[in-house]
Amino acid sequence: MGIMEKGQPLWAKLAAGAALVAGADFLFYKSEIGATAGVFAGALLFAVIVFHWRRWRGKAWWLVLALAGLAAAMVETPGFVAIAMFASGLMMLAGVDRRGLPGSALDWLAHLMLYGVNALTPLVRDADTVMRSRRRAGRPSFGADTLAWIAPIVLGAVFIGLFALSNPIIDGWLKAIDLRSAGDAVSFKRIAFWALVFTGYWTILRPVRLRFASRNTAKFGGTEDFGPLLGKSAVLRGLLLFNLIFLAPNALDAFYIWAGIPLPPGLSYAKYAHRGAYPLIITALIAGGFVLIVMRPGSSIEDSVAVRRFIYLWLAQNIFLVASSILRTVNYVEIYSLTYFRLYALIWMGMVALGLAFLAVKILRRKPNLWLLNANALVVVAVFYASCFIDVGGHIAMYNVKHAREVGGGGPSLDLTYLRSIGQSSLPALQWYQQNILNEFLPNERTVTDRVENHVAQDIQSRLSTLRGWTYRAHRLSKRIAIKPEVSDAPPSEPAKSPWID
C-alpha cells in the first residue's frame, strides 16, 4: 500500500494525525484520564476505519464492533485492561488485509511483537519514500525548501515591525503576545508527548505487514519420541505414580473441604484453606505442561490406549484439585473478606480448570497443540473483555458489607479502610450499610462511616469537576451523593482485627 492511495492523499493522513495529536494534548497532557480515554479511542478507531476499510472486504467488522465496545467501556470508566486490549486489537485491525485476520493465537502474538519491534519503521520508511519521490520529480530537497523560507520570514518580520510603528492597534496586539508563556507551554516534554502520539498513530496507520504462514496449517511441537528418558515405558510408570500421589490430597480435600469433616486438633481451617490453594494451582499447571509435552502429535505415546487412560484419570484428578482450591478460597473469603487479589485468584483458578478440560478434549479428539493454544487464548481474551464492563470494586465492596459481622454475616468486622481504598465504587455499599444497618441498629456508630462516605463522595466530585476527568460511572454515582457534616479530618481508624485471622 502506498503512502498516497486512491482517495487517500498524504495530506489527509497528516491532517488526521495532527488532529489526533491536538486532541491527545487537550485530553491527556497534564490531566487525569477519564472518559477522555474512550473518546480518543473512538477517534483512533474512526481513523483506522477511514483509511483501511477498503482492504478488509468485510472480514474484520466483528473486531471493529469489539473495539467499539471497549471504547464505550472506557467512557464508562477507563482501566488498564480495557486500554491494553483496545491498543492490541487496533494494531491487529490495522494489519488486516484481504485475507482477513490471522488464524491463530501465535500469529496474533507475532503480529503484536512485530509492532513493538518496528514502531519507528513506518515513519522512517515513509519519510524516505517522500524524499525519494521529490528527488525523482526534480523538486528541491527539504533543506533547500527551508532555506527558501529565510528571506520571506525576515522581510515579513520587517513589515510587521513597520506596521506596529504606524498602527497602535497592531502595536497593542504584538505587546499582548507573551513569548515567555508560549515557551513554557511548548516544553520539551510536551513536544516529546506530541511525537509519541503521532508515532503511535502512524505506526497503526502504516503497519509493517506480516505473512501469516500458519493461518490454517500451523502446528508446534514435533512427532519424535524422547527416548528412554520420556519414552512410553517411563511415561506409563510416571502416570501411575502421579495418580497414586494425587489420591492423597484429593482424598483429604474430599473429607475436609467437601464433606465438612472436622480438622485434626491444632489445625485451624484458615491455615488449611490458605496454605493449600495457590501451591495446588502451580501443581495443576505443571501437570498440564507434562501432559502437553509427552502427548506430542503423531508420536507412539499418543496412540497408546493405556497412556491415554492414565492421562484422563490424572487430568480428572487435577481438575478436582483445582475445584477444591476454588472451594478453599471461597470458604476463606466467607470467613475473612473479599479482596481484589482473592477475586482474581478465583477467576484464575477457573481458567486453569477450563484449560485442563480443554487439554482432555485435545487428547480425546486428537486436536493439534495450536487448537489448545487458541482455545485458551479465547477464554483469556473473553474474561478480560468482560471485566472491562464490570465494576469489580463495587461488587467487592457490596459483598464485604453484606457479609460483615455487623450485618450478621460470617465475615469479620467491616473494614472501612479497605472500602475507602476501593474508591468511588464503594459508595453504593457504604450507603446500603448506612441505610439498612447504622440508621436502624447502630445509630451511635455513624461517625467513622460518615467520614469515609464523605471522602469517597469528594473523590467523585473532584473527578467530575474537570471535563477531562469525567467518567460515566462517576456521573452515575454522583446522583447518590449526599454530603454529611464532617466530624474530623483524621483518617478512619483501623477496625479491630478479627480473632480468627492468623
- pLDDT for 143-170, tens place per residue? 555 555 565 666 667 667 766 666 666 6
Are 440 and 433 spatial neighbours (Cβ–Cβ below 8 Å)?
no
Least Cα distance to 427 among 468, 497, 384, 483 occurs for: 483
Are 201 and 44 spatial neighbours (Cβ–Cβ below 8 Å)?
yes
User: What region, left, alpha or beta, does residue 57 occupy, with left being phi > 0 and alpha being psi -120 to 50 degrees?
Assistant: left
Are 270 and 501 spatial neighbours (Cβ–Cβ below 8 Å)?
yes
DSSP state of 336: S
* Cα–Cα separations (whole angstroms), residue 138 to 132, 133, 135, 171, 364: 10, 9, 5, 43, 68
Least Cα distance to 400 among 451, 371, 437 occurs for: 437
Q: Quick one: pLDDT at residue 145?
A: 54
Q: Residue 86: pLDDT above 90? A: yes
Least Cα distance to 64 among 33, 40, 86, 36 occurs for: 86
Q: What is the mean predicted confidence (pLDDT) over 332-343?
A: 88
C-alpha grid cell, residue 454: 464523605
Which comes out higher in pLDDT, residue 180 or 467?
A: 467
C-alpha grid cell, residue 293: 509435552
**CB count, 10 Å around CB of 70?**
24
Are 16 and 52 spatial neighbours (Cβ–Cβ below 8 Å)?
no
Q: Quick one: pLDDT at residue 493?
A: 47
How far apart are the two ends of the chain, measured CA to CA in Å? 64
Q: Quick one: pLDDT at residue 488?
A: 44
Q: What is the mean predicted confidence (pLDDT) over 233-252?
A: 82
Kindly state the percentage of the chain with pLDDT values over 90: 13
Mean pLDDT of the chain: 76
Q: Residue 468: pLDDT above 90? A: no
Give phi and psi for 433, each to the nearest 5.
-65, -40
Interacting residues of 29 by C-beta distance below 8 A, sequence separation 6+:
190, 193
- Residue type at position 328: R
Kindly state the percentage of the chain with pLDDT values over 70: 67
- Residue type at position 371: W
Q: Residue 201: pLDDT above 70? A: yes
Are 98 and 58 spatial neighbours (Cβ–Cβ below 8 Å)?
no
Please state the pTM of the whole predicted model: 0.74
Interacting residues of 79 by C-beta distance below 8 A, sequence separation 6+:
73, 388
- Residue type at position 198: F
Rounded CA-CA distance 232/224 in Å is: 12
Which residue, chain included where needed, has cell 505473512? 211
Q: Quick one: pLDDT at residue 132?
A: 62
Which comes out higher in pLDDT, residue 353 or 299?
A: 353
Q: Quick one: pLDDT at residue 448?
A: 64
Q: Quick one: pLDDT at residue 502?
A: 37
Number of H helices, E strands in the chain: 21, 0
Classified as helix, coil or strand, 484 is coil
Q: What are the tens digits of pLDDT across the range 411-452?
A: 778 888 888 889 888 888 888 888 877 666 555 566 667 778
**CB count, 10 Å around CB of 465?**
9
* Cα–Cα separations (whole angstroms), residue 211 to 7, 13, 90, 119, 373: 26, 25, 18, 18, 20
How are the residues of the chain apportioned to helix, strand and coil, as percentages rounded to the nearest 5? Answer: 70, 0, 30
Rounded CA-CA distance 271/255 in Å is: 16
Are 322 and 349 spatial neighbours (Cβ–Cβ below 8 Å)?
yes
Per-residue exposure over 120-152, b if at least 16 CB sit within 10 Å of its own CB, e if not: eebbeebeeeeeeeeeeeeeeeeeeeeeeeeee
| Helix or strand run (H / E) with residue 168 | helix 168-176
Rounded CA-CA distance 233/450 in Å is: 69
Are 471 and 74 spatial neighbours (Cβ–Cβ below 8 Å)?
no
Q: How many CA atoms lie within 13 A of 291 on its CB side?
A: 32
Give phi and psi for 382, each to the nearest 5.
-65, -40
Q: Quick one: pLDDT at residue 387?
A: 92
